[in-house]
Amino acid sequence: MHARTEAPDVRERVPRIGRGFRLQWEPVQSAHVLLYPEGMVKLNASAGEILKRCDGSTAIDAIVADLERTFATTGLERDVRGFLDVAAEQRWIEWT
């Protein structure tokens, strides 16, 4: 019998900013932006807070915990995961 390798729990997935994109704070826009060769995406405050934690070493569950601690709230996991799904579709993030 071969040992079965379990897929990692989705909360343990580790996002990082996608290749070709650079996240930075843009004072003129007063917002985080994603820069890429063809242009720029201005992010709302929530998206900026999530993406700045996508450092390639922090898992989703830790990102959620940090956001909940920082903003003194609970129940953010569903929204964070939903945003990261969209961000992955847009190639703003990739999974390590």
Structural domain includes residue 2: no
Structural domain includes residue 68: yes
Strand 22-26's sheet: what is its strand order? Answer: 22-26, 31-36, 39-42
Structural domain includes residue 25: yes
Structural domain includes residue 51: yes
Indicate which CATH number applies to the domain containing 30. Answer: 3.90.930.60
Per-position pLDDT tens, the chain of length 96 = 444 444 457 778 999 999 999 999 999 999 999 999 999 999 999 999 999 999 999 999 999 999 999 999 999 999 999 999 999 999 999 999
26: domain range? Answer: 11-91
C-beta atoms surrounding 14 within 10 Å: 18
Structural domain includes residue 48: yes
Structural domain includes residue 6: no
User: pLDDT, tens digit, for every residue of 12-39?
Assistant: 899 999 999 999 999 999 999 999 999 9
Q: Are 64 and 74 in contact (CB under 8 A)?
A: no
Structural domain includes residue 4: no
Q: How distant, in Å, are the alpha carbons of 19, 22, 27, 70, 72 from that of 91? A: 8, 12, 24, 26, 30
What domain count does the chain have?
Answer: 1
Which amino acid would we find at residue 8?
Answer: P
